[in-house]
Structures are given as C-alpha cells and as structure tokens.
Structure 1
Amino acid sequence: MEAYIVEHPEFLHSLVPLPSDDLAPPLIKDMLQAGRTATVGPMAAVAGVIAEYVGKELLRMGCGQVMVENGGDLFLHRTTECRVAIYAGESPLSNKVGLRLSPREMPLGICTSSGTVGHSLSFGRADSVTVISQSTPLADAVATRLGNEVREQGEARDFGIKKVLETGLAIEGVLGVVVICDKLMGAAGQVELIKIEK
C-alpha cells in the first residue's frame, strides 16, 4: 500500500471515489471498489481491508475460527454464535447494546465509524455507525460515509438517523446498519440487537 501511495498520492488523500486501476494489487483494487460503491475515498476502507486480508489468510492457513479487530473494524468467521458489543463513546448506550451474529452468515465484516471517538476523519455527529456486510472493506467505507451524514436536523435533533439507515440499506452489499447518537438509536436490515449484560 505504501509503495502504491508513492506512485499515486491521490489515493491517500482523496475524499471522493477514484477510478479503478487494473494494474493495482488486489488489496488496492478492493479499496478502490469499496470507495466507489460507498461514494467515498478509498482510504475509508483501509482498516476493513487489512482486517479482511489478515482474516482470510488465517483461514487459508487452516484456522477454523477467526476474529480480526482493527480499530473498531472486524472480520469475523466463527463456527458458533457470537455477540459483538457496540462502543459508542460517551453515549449512554455505549457497550449496552450489541449484535448477535449467526455462524451461517459468516464470514462477515462488522465496521464502526464515529464522529466523536477516535482519530479518523468524520464530518458527522454520530457516536457510532455500525455496518454489517460480507465485504469488510465495504462495511468500513459505508460506515465512514454514513457517519458523515449523521447531523443535527433543526429543532427535531433526530440527527437524520432514519434517512441514514435508508441510505445505508440502499447500498448494494450492505446487510445491516446500526446508528447511535447520544440517547438515540436506529437499526435496519439484517440486525439482531441484544442487551449487553456486564
């Protein structure tokens, strides 16, 4: 990736999709594709693509159960049901809700973006936007895009959560979306929410 960026510096900084590159390595092609599908720059998929490539290599090496976490972005391949808590910073819902995931759905990418947590660039106000997809790079890129779109909506202060959920589910390859913003939460698609017991 570093060598590719030296030759294509726009890959590192672009906030908009870049065209495909038939000569790029597969990892770069996957990031470019995820960025185009989500309508964001390719680096929005960087954590997700690394998690997926590491996870798939572990599976290729014979590991039967794999979970690779990379800064809030997960590649998951388990043979048993599992639960994933959603960290949403200072929201009162943080680590109190999560997802139940069935092994028959895997492998899965579960990626979270935030406008209030972490160092990643976000233009939105979400404490967390979690996206589920069978493509981890796509889940990462879409979480970034949707996170940018969660904003205050006048007096209602609903942050546009309903519209963000609809937008996410309209993107091909997205299975489910969960948005948390302060005390508000919305979920859509193939999402089974659970209460996290401490």
Structure 2
Amino acid sequence: MMKENIRIKETRIKLTTDIKDHGLIGFILKERFLLEDYIRRRPYFLTSLEPLSADEGPLIVRMMLKAGLIGGVGPMAAVAGTISELSLYHLMDKGSKYSIIDNGGDIAIINDRKVNIGLYAGDSPLSGEIGFQLKASRKPKGVCTSSGTIGHSISFGRADAVTVFAPRASVADALATSIANAANGDRDYEAVENALEKAESFRDYFQGVLVVVGENAGIIGKIPKLVKTDKKVTIGELWDV
C-alpha cells in the first residue's frame, strides 16, 4: 500500500492506493487543463452559484454540471468531489481494489477491507471524537463534507460539518454544499433540523447524511457505523481496522 500527497494548484489530495505506478499526477493535470480551458471560454461556469443546464464540454465539466443540477448549486460546488471521483475511476481502470482519494475532505473510495474515516467539525465538541467505519465494498462511493465554519469554500449556513455518503463523490460534494447552505436558525438544533429538511429532498441520491452544528447533530438515511477516535484523527486521515 502506498501513500502520497499530491498538490496541483487548488487540488490537495491525500492518496492511499494499492497501485504503485498510478500515473495520477499526469491524469489530474490533464483533467484540470480541460476544466480550466472550458472556464476560459465560459467564465460564468466559475462564478455561478446557481445550477447551469448546459450539457456540453469534457467529462469533468459534464459531471460537475450534473451534480450541480441535482444539488441545486453552481457547478464549482462539485469540483473537488468530481476530481476525486475521476481519479478513483482512473485507479480502478488500472485494477485498484483499494484506493482512497481525499481532496480536501471530499473523498472517493473503493475498499476491499474495512476502513475508518475521522470526522473534523471545527470547534464542535464532536470534532475528532468520532469517525465512520466503512465496510469492505467492491463498489466505489463518495464521502464528502461541507462546512460553514471552516475552510475556504462558500457556504451560506453555519454547520460545523455536513457529511454526505453517496455512490458518487461528485454528487455527494454538491449535496453537502446544498445541505450545509440550509443549516440556519437562531439555535443550533434549528440549524440541524433545517439542514435535515433540505436533505430530505435529495433522498434518491445518497445513502446517509450527518449534520453537526455545535453540540447538536442529526442523521438522515443510513450512515456507516460510528466509532470512537482519540481527537488526533480528522477527516483527511484514515486508518485501517
């Protein structure tokens, strides 16, 4: 098993994979070039906070557009998850059965053994205290987190963390952003309830969602088994069972 950090401009990937000669850096450079070239010709793609309906361009663009339409957000809300998802497909094409691509908390994963993922939720007391135990699976999946209190991504809510478990990381990323945007209310529990109400409208696209606001948390659907951590492990750090 090999581990590697990959940094290409805004892309910050923590990679764990069973593929030695993965060629992932060149693959990501190519996908980023296609995306950047598209944005140069259509700058509104970069700035839109609303979904765009155009069904054109390279695969990375079409995936982001589709995810944005599903989540009701601009396509760039899905950029990190889409790069993770495409990178996972690239590794699977090379025969990978165990790969984790963590792109700033937006994770695409295939795992032939159990794996734990830690939760980072800013100043919430739950941050670093719990994680998720993912069962072994031959199917790829996405685990994406959005926050209104940490990170540089645009969010109109105040969730410490909204983590979405879905078959596709691109869609999970867009949904996490959309649900986190709805985490508003005078009290923390109201913000959780509003976020979960928003998540309800996306039930066809995810397995489960965890919303954390301060000391309050809520779940919709089915999330992986929760496990105790020791405050040293955050989302971006993974450890085998």
- Shorter-chain TM-score bucket reads over 0.9
Q: Paired residue for 2:83, among 50, 73, 78? A: 50
SS of the residue aligned with 1:74?
A: strand
Which residue identity does 2:198 align to in structure 1?
Answer: T
Percent identity of the aligned residues? 38
Residues 41-190 of structure 1 correspond to what in structure 2 (within 5 A)?
Answer: 41-104=74-137, 106-152=139-185, 154=186, 156-171=187-202, 172-190=204-222
Normalised to the residue count of structure 2, the TM-score between the two structures is 0.77
Q: 1: distance between equivalents of 2:190 and 2:105?
A: 22
1:109-143 Cα distance to aligned partner (Å, 9 max, x none): 00000011111111110000000111111000010
Deviates more, 1:114-123 or 1:99-108: 99-108
Is 1:2–2:2 an aligned residue pair?
Answer: no
Q: Is the 2:165–2:206 contact (alpha carbons within 8 Å) kept by the matching residues of 1? A: yes
Q: 2: distance between equivalents of 1:104 and 1:59?
A: 13
- Gaps in structure 1 of 5+ consecutive residues: none
Q: Is the 2:134–2:225 contact (alpha carbons within 8 Å) kept by the matching residues of 1? A: no
- Gaps in structure 2 of 5+ consecutive residues: 1-34, 231-241
- Could you say what the CA RMSD is over the residues aligned between the two structures, in angstroms? 1.4
SS of the residue aligned with 1:64?
A: coil
Greater percentage in strand: 2
SS of the residue aligned with 1:139?
A: helix
Q: 1: distance between equivalents of 2:111 and 2:46?
A: 33
May I ask how many residue pairs the two structures share in their alignment? Answer: 195
Residues 1-40 of structure 1 correspond to what in structure 2 (within 5 A)?
Answer: 1-22=35-56, 24-40=57-73
Task: Quote the offset at 1:105 in angstroms.
Answer: 7.1
Q: 1:76 to 1:88 in 2, by over 3 A?
A: same
Q: 1:157 to 1:89 in 2, by over 3 A?
A: closer
Normalised to the residue count of structure 1, the TM-score between the two structures is 0.93
Q: 1:146 to 1:184 in 2, by over 3 A?
A: same
SS of the residue aligned with 2:131?
A: strand
Segments ≥4 residues shifted beyond 6 Å: none
